[in-house]
Amino acid sequence: MKPNTDLNEALFERARRVIPGGVNSPVRAFRAVGGTPRFVRRAQGAYFWDANDQRFIDYIGSWGPMILGHGHPAVLEAVQKAAVDGFSFGAPTEREIELAEAILALVPSMDMVRLVSSGTEAGMSAIRLARGATGRNKIVKFEGCYHGHADALLVKAGSGLATFGNPTSAGVPAEVVQHTLVLEYNNIAQLEQAFALHGADIAGLMIEPIAGNMNFVRASLPFMQRCRELCTQHGALLVFDEVMTGCRVALGSAQSVYARDLPGFAPDLTVLGKVIGGGMPLAAFGGRRAVMEQLAPLGPVYQAGTLSGNPVATACGLATLREIGRPGFFEALSRKTRSLVDGLAAAAAAEGVAFSGDCEGGMFGFFLLPELPQNYAQVMKTEGARFNTLFHGLLARGVYIAPALYEAGFVSAAHSEEDIAATVAAAREVFQTLRG
């Protein structure tokens, strides 16, 4: 029974007095959907419980890392043992090597890898490395792709071809982003023209192969192939941002999905996070040996971090990678995710609601549109008010999806068939209010 006092509201009011917006990451504030954020008290398996002790089926999973679900026994045991030995040393450990070796075994495009503490840190370091290794300044990114909140990547697209970006955030000088070119996702003609104009000056092209910050939008095979060809032709580095997709859409990450249809396909640099840390603050970037050896202390590109390779985080990551590497893990996870998306599509169709969805491995997304968008402009055609109705309708029925129209969702190994069936049933009830 819901208490007379909403403890989530009380906590939110308290938080707003001491934390900007009451949250430590903006999307948590529910500003896009309205209402009061849920303050999590505990989590286990596929669920979390809020301050009112209401249980929710969790489809954000800490925004992707909890691929095994919350509180997996093998991961808990590894973390507890590591914590007893020490939280942080500021010196090398054998476990850092073990995790690096495990990552390289899963992502063969990388010969070497550097561990860091966050996806943002990994992304900005990869860009610095691309510039240092090539001796060039310009970076290509795509509208709707998010690569962390490093200044040079906080850019929104202008109109027209290869528009130089304007800062999306206050506090980012225009000079910082003057070398960042923002193009339309999946637009081959624009990509080709950008390289024709600036190819000799482009250090790298950074892309989310499956964009998870405009919900779920894939780079088409022809587009991805052209990205690879143009980078090779012009001597630029192809940088895959797999913070979200890494070891989440497949054991070998999204690049292995593209390699199925594009034999020999591989990026030059890869940025990883989330799953490889198992829920702890851990990320990484890696690539070909000749490029990675440009990093200090071997080369002139500086990068450092006090908590990089943290012993507790590496223990958590290693335990997670061991579990997801078990035979049949991703086949089972993919079936669950597909059953959720197909179930939601069927429920929407039964109620006459426009709906399109897609998924890969344990990552999914959907739109209240008749066809899947291919770029950010098409994503923006989704009606926010209708999504908000769906979000709050599901929330009231104990289902927690991302509190924003432009975020992907995640299924874990802990989600059961009953969880998925309950989610689809809840969605159908809400779809009945969205008819027409």
> What amino acid positions are annotated as catalytic residues?
146, 241, 274
CA 67 vs CA 71, 157, 169: distances in Å: 11, 32, 31
Place of tokens 């291919």: 374
Name the nearest CA neighbour of 85 among 312, 376, 413, 265: 312
Contact 56, 44 (CB under 8 A): no
* Alpha carbons 90 and 92: distance in angstroms, whole number: 7
- Sheet containing 138-142: give its strands across: 112-116, 283-287, 269-272, 237-242, 202-207, 138-142, 180-183, 163-164
Which structure tokens are listed for 346? 């069927």
Which structure tokens are listed for 145? 């792709």
Q: Spell 406-430 as b/e; 16+ CB within 10 A means b.
A: bbbbbbbbbbeeebbeebbebbbeb
Q: What is the 8-class DSSP label of residue 4? A: S
Contact 69, 412 (CB under 8 A): yes
* Alpha carbons 340 and 426: distance in angstroms, whole number: 12
Contact 116, 285 (CB under 8 A): yes
* Alpha carbons 34 and 73: distance in angstroms, whole number: 36
Q: What is the CA radius of gyration of the chain?
A: 21
Contact 399, 426 (CB under 8 A): yes
N residues, the chain: 436
